[in-house]
Amino acid sequence: MLVFTRRRGETIMIGDGIEVRVLRSGRDGVRLGIVAPMHVPVHRQEVYEQIRQANRSAAEAPGALTTLAERLRRSAEVREDAPTQTPRLRTATARKRS
């Protein structure tokens, strides 16, 4: 592990495109600002772990995916059989001020 000491306003660069800046530090903790390219995901560790768990669960449950696909197919078939209605536009109405 590489350890840095930085003060408020100072920055750490990771590669050419990721910048980590110390915004504030105090008794509660440190507030960091991160600038990274859009294709680089940036998450707090607890959020990252939730994403990983959700991905694992989705990969382990192929039956649920098949069930969802079947429900979507049936829903699309029902919509195709339904008579087509022209959507009504909503108009803005003035409200009385009290």
**Residue 93 clears pLDDT 80, i.e. is over it:** no
In single-letter form, the type of residue at position 4 comes to F
Domain ranges of the chain: 1-40, 43-77
pLDDT digits 0-9 by tens, 36-75: 999 999 999 999 999 999 888 877 766 777 787 888 888 8
Give the pTM.
0.55
Mean pLDDT in residue range 82-97: 57
The sign of the CA dihedral 43, 46, 49, 53 is negative
pLDDT of residue 55: 87
Check: CB of residue 48 under 8 Å from CB of residue 40: no
